[in-house]
Amino acid sequence: MHKAKKKFGQNFLVDQNIIEDIIGAIRPQAEDNLVEIGPGLGALTRPLLKKLSHLHVVEIDRDIIARLEADYPQDKADTKLIIHAGDALKFDLATLAAPLRIVGNLPYNISSPLLFYFAEYVERITDMHFMLQNEVVERMVADHSTPAYGRLSVMLQYRFYMEKLLDVPPESFRPAPKVNSAIVRMIPLPKDKIIVKNERLFGEIVGTAFGQRRKTLRNTLRSYLNEEDFSVLGINSQLRAENLAVIDFAKITAYLDESTS
């Protein structure tokens, strides 16, 4: 029996109804190039393999890798499961054939870094389905001028269409986490729908604006914009970062980009 390891943020999904709902949401097709992040004890891996001709998994836990290799020997030419041992944050998705579909019960302690890392491969991805802490999912899909809206919301919403699919209670796992979980679907926006051209500057502006989220934009962005600039942009400098929609941050970025080019 494998004991969950706290250092890897392991909580293993055991609720069969939830598992069926997740597989139903993913709708895997036989020839999909699908990657599972952190297969764990195989709650999603086994039902996915029933639908797929092959499945890539990325796992860091050597004990789990040994279990997977025992069940799916890697030296067999007909193996359906291809195991990639190592840290998902260092795994080069460009080594796999695109388009990719990515799924996983992400370790909650590194979920945000993983989301930003996968976003770097957005042009190679068809969609992503993740189990995350519910609070994180709520932040991902939040509208502006709501308490959950923040840097994570903006930095993902300009690249992805996102939808919360279902809630997953703690008792669906062993061991049970101390938080509620949820499933989110992420679909990359087509190129012509991405309103940001200078992504580096966009990230800088968003990070600065939310760095002191209780302060007004006049204060947080004072090194970028003066009152006249806000007037030209049609943005009230007395607002806070949480009051701006993604398109407003894109407008600020484009304005600054043009003024310095």
β-strand partners of 3: none
Which residue type, as a one-letter code, is found at position 164? Answer: K
At residue 11, the pLDDT reads 79
Which residue type, as a one-letter code, is found at position 46? Answer: R
At residue 176, the pLDDT reads 87
In sequence order, which residues have a C-beta less than 8 Å from that of residue 252 and are 6 or more positions away?
A: 205, 221, 224, 225, 233, 235
Identify the CATH assignment for 6-193 out of 3.30.499.10, 3.40.50.920, 3.40.50.150, 1.10.3720.10.
3.40.50.150
At residue 166, the pLDDT reads 96
Contact (Cβ atoms closer than 8 angstroms) between residue 114 and residue 86 = no
Contact (Cβ atoms closer than 8 angstroms) between residue 114 and residue 88 = yes
At residue 174, the pLDDT reads 86
Distance CA 33, CA 79 (A): 15
Structure-token pair, residue 77 = 């030419």
At residue 124, the pLDDT reads 97
pTM: 0.93
Distance CA 205, CA 224 (A): 8
Domain with CATH 3.40.50.150 in the chain: 6-193
At residue 6, the pLDDT reads 47
CA 17 to each of CA 163, 177, 256: distance values in angstroms, whole numbers, following the listed order:
20, 18, 50
At residue 10, the pLDDT reads 57
What is the chain's pLDDT, residue by residue, as a tens digit (261 residues)? 444 444 444 578 999 999 999 999 999 999 999 999 999 889 999 999 999 999 999 999 998 999 999 999 998 888 999 999 999 999 999 999 999 999 999 988 899 999 999 999 999 999 999 999 999 999 999 999 999 999 999 999 999 999 999 999 999 998 888 899 999 999 999 999 999 999 999 999 999 999 998 999 999 999 999 999 999 999 999 999 999 999 999 999 999 999 876
In sequence order, which residues have a C-beta less than 8 Å from that of residue 13 and are 6 or more positions away?
A: 19, 40, 43, 44, 105, 131, 168, 172, 173
The CATH code belonging to domain 199-260 is: 1.10.8.100
Contact (Cβ atoms closer than 8 angstroms) between residue 159 and residue 122 = yes
Per-residue burial over 178-200, b = 16 or more CB atoms within 10 Å of its CB, e = otherwise: eeebbbbbbebeeeeeeebebee
Contact (Cβ atoms closer than 8 angstroms) between residue 165 and residue 184 = yes
At residue 5, the pLDDT reads 40
Domain with CATH 1.10.8.100 in the chain: 199-260
Distance CA 49, CA 78 (A): 13
